[in-house]
Structure 1
Amino acid sequence: MRKRLRRRKGGLVDEPDYALVGVVRIPEIEKSPARAIGRRVLWALIALFVCSIVVYLDRDGYRDVKESPLSYLDALYYSAVTLSTTGYGDVTPVTESARLINVVFITPLRVLFLIVLIGTTLEVLTERSRQAIKIQNWRNRVRNHTIVVGYGTKGRTAVDAVIADGGKPADIVVVDNDHGALEAAATHGLVTVRGDATKSDVLRLAGVQYASAIVIAANRDDTAVLATLTAREINPRAKIVASIREAENTHLMRQSGANSVVVSSETAGRLLGIATITPSVVEVVEDLLSPEEGYAIAEREVEPSETGGSPAHTKDLVLGVVREGKLYRVGEPEVEEIEVGDRLLYVRQGGPA
């Protein structure tokens, strides 16, 4: 496997791909053990049947110790002891044609038979190489994906929201140090990278330089700040969304390069306060934040027929207009007329966009 080089030597990204097995994990489709064993047995029986037919058709070239003509049962018996490499010697090829067929046809069948029977052992022995090849292929093609730092409650919810909004699990990479969290992510079909997201080597393994979006869902604010700084240094173009516990750290996250900052403690506290007075408002907010059902907040491009009109006259309930990367709320003078290139923030029916 070829090495991935970068300016600073000695990091994880300098390691050959086979050394990354156990650090980077590519999801696989789970296979039923019973089905896998059944498939191997079926192939073994097919090989045995084909071999017995070949021997029977050329039965005149074989000699039995009893000096009697070969029956199909004798051919089946010979095939079984030959493919299993038992070889009692009571039935042997004596003519040149029979021996040629034995070398050209039956010997490859013997090898196939053995591979099928000991396939589980071979699969275990070759797993590391297969994973290394998968890691290499993934690193070559990963582009415009989403990286989620931390797969705790916030990270899992963020992944669910991305998938519910039309994202593919294969386009999401989870970075975490916790083995249990990575196992949970892998079972949902996500690519995982084990390591500290504050280190550039780990983020580069996750393909942060090619990512389109990065979600920082760390458990500590200082970790979130360092991870954001590192990610922004490597990828100046990606959209970085971060969650922090304390509002006083919001400016640090902004200065570190986060495009959006969510204060989890204040948001939860605000909803708790509202729920004591108007619990139905909280239900609506939760509905808007759950795209699978009810209503959801989404963003779309302006249709040609909407250009020049007011946001209030569109077919959707528009909450704001995004113009040149800045959000203007409905009612502000800047968005009395919709312009070409604007994007509308609106309320839509729940379900995939």
Structure 2
Amino acid sequence: MSSPLEEKYRQIQKDLRAGAIALALVFITGTLWYKFVEGWHWSDAVYMTMITLSTVGFGEINPLGDRGRIFTMSLIIMGLISIGYIVNRFTEALIQGYFQEGRRIRQLRRLVESLSEHYIICGYGRTGRQIAIEFQAEEISFVVIDSLPEPLEEAKQLGYVTIQGDATLDETLISVGIENAVCLVAALPSDAENLYTVLSAKTLNPKIRAIARASTEEALQKLQRAGADAVVSPYITGGKRMAAAALRPQVIDFVDGILTGSDRAFYMEEFLLEAGACPSIGQSLREAKLRSQSGALVLAIRRQSGELIAGPTGETVLMAGDLLICMGTPEQLRLLTQLLIPIRSGTPRLPKQG
């Protein structure tokens, strides 16, 4: 689904194209008449048609009978209508700024086509806004989709890449490069919209990681069955966080400090140990010396089988397919990147050094 301004721009293009075709047909009709009906040479027929349509007021090239003069008058009228229509549509497009909008659409299309391994936020409501803030703080590429122009205008002011459209439609997801995206976050107002969005995303790109928002327990289960990799219920999660903040406030403050915000000192990152790509595979944590070489701390290890090892010891052996959850400063995690392969290709999503 395109924005009204985009639809208007496309309609203006169609109207101008139709006007140009109509004018060309009138020109061809006049030339053919003077050539075959009046019996003139091609050059005279073209010249007569040109001066007639332009209404410059020149006289006839060759004498015309009543039939020829009636046709010439009809040719003038058809020409004036065609030219007037083109001028009217062109002037409206110029005044309303549709040509500028067309340029913006082309620039946006080129920008989206250049994106790779980016994130897609579907819905720019209260949840989507917060997600965008966190993504921007992590300096990752993302696109915002929403069907309403008002929230998107706010997103544009913040410098986000935005697309107005229905995220449940395949064509909208394709327009934001769903094939090259690594993650989609469905934060639309209704559970049904989030469900359709996840289904569409997984159909177009089975490898994409889909995160969805759910309002009810039933919707949570349906989204999981639809293929969502993670489903978050603001009410359930919010309740758990409030209870934890009441019971363990310092723990919550610490966790929040390393997970969110743009001014935190510590970060967390995931690293996937791929067979043949990581020299530490087969070694224990003590032998790998990850902590001593980088300073980063390995908080947990998730085996390929799904087993989670929290607080691994120095004797824990690293295996192919292990997912390491690590914590450290940006510099420590950069050093760790040289030793391990991050779960996402490229460098970890860390702030630039000052």
Range class of TM-score, shorter chain: 0.5 to 0.7
Distance change >3 Å, CA 138–CA 196, structure 1 → 2: same
**Cα distance, 1:140 vs. partner?**
4.0
SS in 2 for 1:133: helix
User: More deviation in 270-279 or 305-314?
Assistant: 305-314
Task: Work out which of the residue numbers 107, 128, 148 in structure 1 matches 2:101.
Answer: 128
Q: Amino acid of the residue matched to residue 352 of structure 1?
A: P
Alignment counterpart, residue 345 of structure 1, candidates 313, 316, 325: 325
Q: Which residue of 2 aligns with 1:298?
A: 269
In structure 2, the CA distance between the partners of 1:338 and 1:319, relative to structure 1 (3 Å rule), is same
| Whole-angstrom distance in 2 between the partners of 1:128 and 1:154 | 29
Distance 1:198 1:301 in 2: 32
List per-residue Cα deviations over 1:176-198 (Å, max 9, x = no partner): 12322111211222221112212
Confirm or deny: 8 A CA contact 2:298 2:311 kept in the other structure.
no
| TM score, norm. by length of structure 1 | 0.57
Decide whether the 8 Å contact of 1:321 with 1:344 is kept in 2. yes
Checking the alignment, whether the CA contact within 8 Å between 1:307 and 1:338 is kept in structure 2 is yes
Q: Tell me by how many angstroms 1:158 deviates.
A: 1.8
Q: Distance in 1 between matches of 2:139 and 2:272?
A: 16
Pair 172,184 (structure 1): closer, same or farther in 2 beyond 3 Å: same
User: Of 128, 149, 156, which aligns to 2:129?
Assistant: 156
CA offsets 1:215-264 (integer angstroms, 9 cap, x no match): 11122222211211121112111111122233333221111111122222
Verify: 1:288 aligned to 2:258, yes or no: yes
* Corresponding position of 1:328: 308
Equivalent pairs: percent with the same residue? Answer: 24
Conservation of the 8 A alpha-carbon contact between 1:150 and 1:175: yes
Q: Displacement of 1:148 after TM fit?
A: 0.4
Question: Matched residue of 1:304: which SS?
Answer: coil
> Is 1:147 the counterpart of 2:84 in the alignment?
no
Report what 1:229 is aligned to.
199
Q: Say if 1:196 and 1:202, in contact at 8 Å, map to a contact too.
A: yes
Give unpaired runs (5+ residues) of structure 1: 1-11, 23-120
Structure 2 length normalisation: TM-score? Answer: 0.57
Is the CA contact (8 Å cut-off) linking 2:9 and 2:99 kept in structure 1?
no
Q: Hey, what's the Cα distance between the residues in 2 that align with 1:20 and 1:190?
A: 23
1:91-131 deviation line (CA, Å, top 9, x unaligned):
xxxxxxxxxxxxxxxxxxxxxxxxxxxxxx89946413322
Instruction: Report the AA paired with residue 304 of structure 1.
Output: P
Structure 2 contact 142–161 (Cα < 8 Å) conserved: yes
CA distance in 2, matches of 1:208, 1:216: 13
- Is 1:308 paired with 2:279? no
**Partner SS state of residue 117, structure 2:** coil
> Structure 1 pair 225/124, CA: closer, same or farther in 2 (3 Å)?
closer
Q: Is the 8 A contact 2:300 2:312 kept in 1?
A: no
- Cα deviation, residue 159, structure 1: 2.1
Q: How many residues align?
A: 238
Distance, in Å, in 1 between the alignment partners of 2:203 and 2:105 is 28
Contact 1:18 1:131 in 2 (8 A): no
- Counting only pairs closer than 5 Å after superposition, residues 1-353 of structure 1 correspond to structure 2 as 19=7, 124=97, 126-138=99-111, 140-167=113-140, 171-292=141-262, 293-301=264-272, 304-305=279-280, 307-310=282-285, 314-315=290-291, 316-324=296-304, 326=306, 328-330=308-310, 336-349=316-329, 352=351
- Partner of 2:270, secondary structure, is strand
Distance 1:226 1:317, change over 3 A: same
Distance 2:351 2:162 in 1: 24
Report SS of the residue matched to 1:240: strand
Over aligned residue pairs, what C-alpha RMSD do you find?
Answer: 3.5
* 1:151 and 1:182 in contact (8 A); partners too: yes
Per-residue deviation, 1:326: 4.5
Q: Which runs of 5+ in 2 are unaligned?
A: 11-93, 331-349
Aligned-partner Cα distance in 2 for 1:21–1:328: 54
Q: Deviations over 1:125-183 (max 9, x none)?
A: 6413322432442354343221101112221222222232331xxx3111112322111
Query: Quick one: structure 1 residues 144 and 277, their matched pair in 2 at CA, closer, same or farther if it must change by over 3 Å?
Result: closer
Distance in 1 between residues matched to 2:266 and 2:225, nearest whole Å: 34
The answer as to whether partners of 2:117 and 2:180 remain within 8 angstroms in 1 is yes
**Whole-Å separation in 2 of the counterparts to 1:188 and 1:233:** 31
Task: Give 1:176's aligned amino acid.
Answer: D
Equivalent pair of 1:148/1:214 in contact (CA under 8 Å): yes
Amino acid at match of 1:137: R
